[in-house]
Amino acid sequence: MKEIATTEAVGHVLCHDVTQIIRGEKKGPAFRKGHVIRKEDIPVLLSMGKDHLYVWEKKEGILHENEAAQILCEICRNEYMEPSEVKEGKIELRATVDGLLKIRKEGMMAVNLLGEMMIASRHNNTMVKQGDVLAGTRIIPLVIEEEKMKKAKEAAGGEPLLKLIPIQKKNVGIVTTGNEVYYGRIQDTFTPVVKEKIEEFGSAVTMECLVGDEKEKIRDAILDMIEKGAQMVVCTGGMSVDPDDRTPGAIADTGARVVTYGAPVLPGAMLMVAYYKKKDGSEIPVLGLPGCVMYAKRTIFDLVLPRLLADDPITREEIAQLGVGGLCLNCPVCSFPNCGFGKA
């Protein structure tokens, strides 16, 4: 790459995009990298304030920003992602399916610490729709050493930094508990809320069961749904420490592996997450939902549901990490998921 006067640039090859900004009309490249400058281009370039240009002078071991941008993009890109056209060293990745976005944060940090390049993404464990932007990458200088891009690959590790897990359409069972509902003392307003949230993701509630506050009957209802093919079971109510709240014990008595009873999230502290292992080795999520899911607009259920529907295993450590960002502010106008709730 070398600098020359624009008036002497006819016949030379641009090594960078030249952006034109006309207030209220456009902002975009008037000339692309690789363009061979013509005589008629000179007045246009001068009118844009470009008295000097960088033209390409290929050197061994040096990459142009757009060449390096392709490498940086591939460090991030995984299945179900589509890159944009490279412009001025920038590439965006968009989702080709609805899914759960996973970020290897340590790898991304390592690449961003190298300097002269950057990756910016959405938050880890974010639910995205087809066509949504997942991340943007950019090479900062016009040219960069090829060796530095090799270091970026090493820093990122042996797999892409981003992963998009398609959301599965599952058959879900709901076990509604509580003597007050079972004996008709009050109307069940919990189950409709849970059904609506599940159906938002394309899954279906194919089994429903209403039982009282008897641990054995709750346990048997869960096991019956699993036996009949439920791919996830959700229990509503009976999750507190009152003597009539038996759901946590019933879930544990199924033999399911309990990940957590309790979460550092408000609303949603009394959540239970468990996995029931079937004879074929597959694991069925079993949830105990606290009462706040019935009346609060957003709760812990909204944070874990996409992961469960994407078959993304939840660990105790990940639940504990939700404490930072786990306080919902109950904003008058809810903007979830475009807010800080559930994001570290």
Place of tokens 């999750």: 239
Residue 237 corresponds to which tokens in the numbers above?
A: 């109510």
CATH class, 171-321 region = alpha beta
Contacts of residue 241, Cβ cutoff 8 Å, sequence gap at least 6: none
Task: Decide yes or no: CATH 3.90.105.10 for domain 2-55.
Answer: yes
pLDDT over 70, % of the chain: 99
For the segment 78-116, what is each residue's pLDDT rounded down to a tens digit? 999 999 998 888 999 999 999 999 999 999 999 999 999
Q: Give the CATH number of domain 62-166.
A: 3.90.1170
Report yes or no: 187 and 332 within 8 Å, Cβ to Cβ: no
* All structural domains of the chain with their residue ranges: 2-55, 62-166, 171-321
For the segment 261-289, what is each residue's pLDDT rounded down to a tens digit? 999 999 999 999 999 999 999 999 999 99
pLDDT at 74: 97
Neighbours of 279 (CB within 10 A): 5
pLDDT < 70 stretches in the chain: 58, 243-244
Residue 340 corresponds to which tokens in the numbers above?
A: 């800080």
- In the chain, what are the helix, strand and coil shares in percent, each to the nearest 5? 30, 30, 40
Report yes or no: 36 and 12 within 8 Å, Cβ to Cβ: yes
DSSP 18-42: EEEEETTTEEEEEE-TTPBP-TTHH
For the segment 35-48, what is each residue's pLDDT rounded down to a tens digit? 778 999 999 999 98
Neighbours of 155 (CB within 10 A): 18
Identity at 73, one-letter amino acid code? C
Q: How far apart are CA 273 and CA 218, in angstroms?
A: 16
Q: Give Cα 53 distance to the centre of its chain.
A: 40
Identity at 32, one-letter amino acid code? R
> Helix H segments across the chain?
41-47, 65-76, 105-112, 146-156, 179-182, 191-200, 215-227, 247-253, 292-295, 300-309, 316-321
